[in-house]
Amino acid sequence: MAKKIVGFIKLQVPAGKANPSPPIGPALGQRGLNIMEFCKAFNAQTQGMEPGLPIPVVITAYADKSFTFVMKTPPATVLIKKAAKIEKGSSRPHTDKVGKITRAQAEEIAKTKMPDLTAADLDAAVRTIAGSARSMGVTVEGL
């Protein structure tokens, strides 16, 4: 018989920097999960990634206090800000442009995000990334 799922916990955790402090500790603690076990497993899986890059993770909590977790790709906005070399998006995106990325950079981001996007092909994924960039005040050249 399959284990009974008691809930899902969605968090964004910096790669390689999971520790028991908030928000991780309280979120796992209230479900009675082993916090250090998660931190060690997460940090081991994110070892090859850029340290500090926020990684969305979905933790499945089971009735017997065990858990599994699935890591997603980093948020598109973080990847766009890194490509455009900006700290934050524009507060008025359609009036004030704060940066530029090329189509090649948008394609690279789309390839990274492809497992989490619902796009049918790479071109549709690039258009999705371009839309996210536009709503942050970043122009995409070549589109």
Domain of 18: which CATH number? 3.30.1550.10
Q: Do 63 and 102 lie in a common domain?
A: no
Range of the structural domain that residue 34 is part of: 5-71
Q: Do 66 and 83 lie in a common domain?
A: no
The domain total for the chain is 2
Q: Is the pLDDT of residue 52 over 90?
A: no
Per-residue confidence at 3, pLDDT binned at 50, 70, 90?
confident
Per-residue confidence at 59, pLDDT binned at 50, 70, 90?
very high
User: What pLDDT is stored for residue 23 in this prediction?
Assistant: 86
Q: How many residues does the chain have?
A: 143
Q: Do 82 and 136 lie in a common domain?
A: yes
DSSP 39-82: HHHHHHHTTTSPTT-EEEEEEEEETTS-EEEEE-PPPHHHHHHH
How many CB atoms are located within 10 Å of the residue 93 CB?
15
Residue 107: which CATH number? 1.10.10.250
What is the average pLDDT value for the chain, to the nearest integer? 89
Q: Do 12 and 45 lie in a common domain?
A: yes
User: What pLDDT is stored for residue 129 in this prediction?
Assistant: 92
Q: Do 85 and 117 lie in a common domain?
A: yes
Pairing of the two strands 99-102 and 138-141: parallel
Q: Do 26 and 66 lie in a common domain?
A: yes
Backbone angles phi, psi at 93, to 5 degrees: -60, -35
Q: Do 38 and 81 lie in a common domain?
A: no
Give percent above pLDDT 70 in the chain: 99
Q: Is the pLDDT of residue 1 over 70?
A: no
User: What pLDDT is stored for residue 142 in this prediction?
Assistant: 79
Q: Is the pLDDT of residue 95 over 70?
A: yes
Dig out the tokens for 63 from the structure. 């009735």
Spatial separation of the C-alpha atoms in residues 73 and 50, rounded to whole Å: 12
- For residues 3 and 62, the answer to whether their CB atoms sit within 8 Å is yes
